[in-house]
Amino acid sequence: YIYGGILSLNEETLDFIKILDAADNLHLQELIDYLQKSLIEDKPEWIEQNFGLTHQISSKSNNLLELQEYCSNIMAQYPEKIFNSFDFILLSEDSLVSLIKRDDLQMKEIEVWEQVVKWGLARNPTIAPDPKTWSDNDFETMKNTLQNCLPLIRFFSLSSKEFSQKVRPYQKLLDQQQYEELLSSYLDPGSVFNINILRPRKIKIKEIKIDDSQIIDSKIDDSQIIDSKINDSQIIDSKIVDSKTDDSQIIDSKIVDSQIIDSKIVDSNMSLIVLKWIDKVVVNERESNSNIFSTILKWIDKVVTNDRESHYYLPYKFNLILRGSRDGFAPEKFHELCDGKHNTVTFIKIKGKEEIFCGYNPLKWESTNSYYGKTADRNMHIKNIISKVKDKNYAIFYKYEHGPQFGGDIVMSSSNEFKDYEKISYQQDDYERKLIDSEGEFSMEDYEVFQIVKK
């Protein structure tokens, strides 16, 4: 006998996907293809909300290739949606690992950590949610469950509050050395670490409009509030410069988002150590983020953010003044375009390496021959090392035949101002700590100078 019937596609979607699973078990490929297409076209929101179940069913059969591809596209393009699904705990370990290793995962790191712990608890239903009640065996079980996930969490992206409240209770899950160095990073931001630190995730910038008076609500002490309103056309004024202590920096990093800065040599990553280095002004969270820009704001305004991997409104813009590959590499061109301009950031890309020096100068550049610029706003940073200027009188060096020069440490010079730079070098001199082992001359791939102005 041959039995037939009518299948209504208006059923509850959960029943719908169960029918798809049954059709797969019976190898009814024509029905499978029809159901897959209908599910993808008519139920995309349900798939996102129930991604764990959908992915679990599609992954177990080669007959569901269309649904597999759809799930793979969600994982590739919108990984954060998976964590927001009702049943992400159904994900396989391989799928979870592939998600949290992504640099473009659009989630706060503390949320990633909480979801990973939630996933681990779902794998071990006999363990209570509160880590205060866990036995040593419970910690060992969870550590084994999460052994491939823990190395992928960007713990150094967390704020001290997040670390204290959300990570410290799970201390026994972490490698002892990792935990000690993580703790040291909060107690001593200038610490040098012996472990590899994962860079922060590349969070996309969102355009928002906000009244200038709401941009920064900051405190230096309980009685003092800073109102940072500045006209759009006005560069950061001398009051901001005068309010700082020791914060010129040289940085080795890959930096900056093209939506915010027109750069050919830097992207949106930044060394996390610098992010927690200054502690005078707190910026309220907004709806956009860029680690390098948050960092540079700290150099200018003594800003430290509540959440180093959170979303911040960036009240500054970066105007490109000079690019060597576009404007030339002669000192004369640097002084023509940059002299007289305050609040500049210089990026220098070392040829053949991933290292990028970055220096912030709150003073104006000048062509005065053999003259040092005096400012207390001087620190340098490269990799995991922060180095402060030893003598504020030797923070910046001016000379006709030189480009941007930070003390005697970063030097760009030529025999005359019309010739391309003949010497580009680094050596520890006027700053406290040595930044790189290979002191001496190096080849420069390109360099850029930006002026930071108020939006």
- Residue with the bigger pLDDT between 113 and 406: it is 113
DSSP one-letter string for 307-353? -TTS-B---EEEEEEEEHHHH-S-HHHHHHHHBT--SEEEEEEETTS
Q: What is the mean pLDDT of residues 280-302?
A: 44
pLDDT at 376: 45
Asked whether residue 373 carries a pLDDT value surpassing 80, the answer given is no
How many other C-beta atoms are found inside a 10 Å radius of the C-beta of residue 26?
A: 10
Predicted confidence band of residue 257 (pLDDT cuts 50, 70, 90) = very low
The pLDDT tens digits for 377-432 are: 444 544 445 566 677 676 677 888 889 988 777 889 888 889 999 998 888 777 77
Asked whether residue 455 carries a pLDDT value surpassing 80, the answer given is no
Q: Is 247 exposed, middle or buried, given 0-12, 13-18 or 19+ CB atoms closer than 10 A?
A: buried
The pLDDT tens digits for 15-64 are: 778 888 888 888 889 888 988 998 898 888 888 888 888 888 888 888 99
The pLDDT tens digits for 187-220 are: 776 566 666 777 777 766 443 333 333 323 333 2
Give CA–CA dist 363/369, Å, rounded. Answer: 16
| Angle, helix 13-25 to helix 29-42, in steps of 10 degrees | 150
Dihedral (C-alpha) 39, 43, 47, 49: value to the nearest 10 degrees?
A: -160
pLDDT at 276: 39
pLDDT at 346: 85
Contact 228, 216 (CB under 8 A): yes
pLDDT at 287: 34
Predicted confidence band of residue 152 (pLDDT cuts 50, 70, 90) = very high
Name 388's bridge partners.
379
- Residue with the bigger pLDDT between 140 and 410: it is 140
The pLDDT tens digits for 64-107 are: 999 988 988 888 778 888 888 878 888 889 889 988 988 888 88
Contact 275, 295 (CB under 8 A): yes
Contact 84, 104 (CB under 8 A): no
- Residue with the bigger pLDDT between 144 and 315: it is 144
Predicted confidence band of residue 127 (pLDDT cuts 50, 70, 90) = very high
Asked whether residue 269 carries a pLDDT value surpassing 70, the answer given is no
> Dmax of the chain from CA atoms?
101
Q: Please report, for the chain, the start and end positions of each structural domain, with discontinuous segments joined by +.
A: 13-91, 97-187, 232-454
Q: How far is CA 368 from CA 321, 371, 372, 403, 405, in A?
A: 20, 6, 9, 12, 13
Mean pLDDT of the chain: 72
Asked whether residue 264 carries a pLDDT value surpassing 60, the answer given is yes
| Per-range mean pLDDT, top range of 4-8, 116-120, 153-157, 284-288 | 116-120
DSSP one-letter string for 200-250? PP-PPP------GGGS--EEEETTEEE-----TTPBP-HHHHHT--S----
pLDDT at 229: 29
Pick from 249, 252, 253, 282: nearest CA to 362: 249
Predicted confidence band of residue 369 (pLDDT cuts 50, 70, 90) = low
